[in-house]
Amino acid sequence: MTRRGLPVLLLLGAMLTLGDLDVAWGQTPPPAIQGLDKLTPEERAIAERNLERWRSMTPEQQQRAMDNYRQWRSLSPEERQSARQNLQRLRQMPPGERARVMQDFQRWNQLPDERKRELERAYQRYQQLPPERQRQIQQRFERYQSLSPEQRQRMDRNLERWRSMTPEERQRAREQIREKRQERQKEIRPREDAPARRPR
């Protein structure tokens, strides 16, 4: 599955937490559910229809499910349709790929709220980039994903060093990289003044 960003993960989380919405919401259990007084009438109706699942949840899981449901309700019809399609794609994935997506989602849930907001802002900036720039970023990300764990760790350390540099240090580093590339290109190019070799 192509990574479509954080909104997809959030939508999948809402849907997976509440289960298959179309099927689960069609069930009708008995009306007595503890904690219903804290819910809106619409949320209460959803909880009543999902009584067994609701009863098996911890209070934290119940709160997370209601937060996800509220987010779901705030989505436009188009966003909901997109979420349903993404859930369908998730179900059709090979087990290994599905497990990777779910691990990504779990990592997302464990992030501090400030980091989530930072990533959401970065995603919004990405969405505003021209398509060609988005493709370049996607290709770089795919190259990063294909690296060995050791290579990724080295890249991550380099990135941390880069982030800790001052603007002046970054500029010097760019110049050094540019000079090294130019030296390598000179070594690779055949010397123009050298006579051409004749084939034997």
Contact 51, 29 (CB under 8 A): yes
pLDDT in tens, the chain (200 residues): 444 444 444 444 544 444 444 433 443 344 455 666 777 888 778 777 777 787 888 988 888 888 888 888 888 889 889 888 988 898 899 999 989 888 988 888 888 989 999 999 999 999 999 999 999 999 998 998 899 999 989 988 988 998 899 999 989 989 998 998 888 888 876 655 555 565 55
Contact 7, 126 (CB under 8 A): no
Give me the pLDDT at residue 192, please: 55
pTM confidence score: 0.42
Contact 71, 86 (CB under 8 A): no
DSSP 26: T
3-class DSSP state of 179: helix
Task: In the chain, count H helices and then E strands.
Answer: 11, 0
Give me the pLDDT at residue 19, please: 46
Question: Among all chains, which residue has been given the structure tokens 């290709």?
Answer: 139
Give me the pLDDT at residue 136, please: 94
